[in-house]
Amino acid sequence: MLPVAVVISGRGSNMEAIARAAQLGDSRYRVVRVIADRPEAGGLARAATLGVPTAVVPVKSFTDRAAFEEALHAEIAASGAELVALAGFMRILSPRFVARLEGRLLNIHPSLLPKLRGIHTHERALAAGETEHGASIHFVTPELDGGPAFLQASVPVLPGDDAERLAERVLAQEHRLYPLALRWFAEGRVRLDGDTVRLDGRPLAQPARLAELEPDAAR
């Protein structure tokens, strides 16, 4: 069983999807700790309800980013996690922090990367007139939202969508994506090799698309 730490800043719905999947009999990973950067993060209560140990590394109590990151790294190390899943974690991590976890740090981003890095992706997808939007799981590298993505799910942009409705549709896919990505990692199917992701040993030219893997799944 791969020990996983989930790092959050907010409501933690992705964390919950990850933790619930981990509690199913066939899971290949377990969540050893949920770590938040603020005590108000709603996900902390959700994690506690699920019986998952929680910790807070309150960013506000540190004078600089280096000190915060040192404490966050120590918390991760103490948890025994071998993989770290950022799930709605709203801080930019330094290259030094990222390098220490190279190949063991994942993030979920609400767009079909490399499209729409950064924030407000749903508003920007609508403004750009996209007909397709979605979410991606990627390895974290020092470049913001720039690390290689290996698993995506798409949703259609529908007439009359606003950012909230679109975000909801994407979020439902996010909740399917992250548990599967963690399973793949736990099974040793997915690995970062330099700048490339290998899936089942082969370099992945394009991220795998969940809809294509599970064609019956509801959109």
Question: Which residue is it, tokens 């394009």?
Answer: 206
Mapped onto helix, strand or coil, the DSSP state of residue 139 is: strand
* Bond prior to 114 in cis (omega within 30° of 0): yes
Cβ–Cβ contacts within 10 Å for residue 192, how many? Answer: 21
Start-to-end CA span in the chain (Å): 30
CB of 197 to ligand GRF, least distance (A): 19
Scanning 6-14, 18-26, 60-68, 74-82 for contacts with ligand GRF by CB under 6 A, the matching segment is: 6-14
Q: Is 12 in the site for ligand GRF (CB under 6 A)?
A: yes
Scanning 10-18, 98-106, 199-207, 211-219 for contacts with ligand GRF by CB under 6 A, the matching segment is: 10-18
Size of the residue set binding ligand GRF (CB under 6 A): 16
Question: What are 63's two structure tokens?
Answer: 């004078």
Answer left, alpha or beta for residue 93, where phi above 0 means left and psi between -120 and 50 means alpha. Answer: beta
Number of H helices, E strands in the chain: 7, 11
Amino acid identity at 147: G
Residue 120 annotated as catalytic: no
Binding-residue pattern over the window 17 to 36 for ligand GRF, x denoting contact by CB under 6 A: --------------------
Sites for ligand GRF among residues 68-97 (CB under 6 A): 87-88
Q: Is 171 in the site for ligand GRF (CB under 6 A)?
A: yes
Amino acid identity at 157: V
Scanning 7-15, 51-59, 158-166, 194-202 for contacts with ligand GRF by CB under 6 A, the matching segment is: 7-15
Query: Which residues contact ligand GRF (rule: CB under 6 A)?
Result: 8, 10-15, 43, 87-88, 108-110, 135, 171, 174
Question: Which residues are marked as active site?
Answer: 109
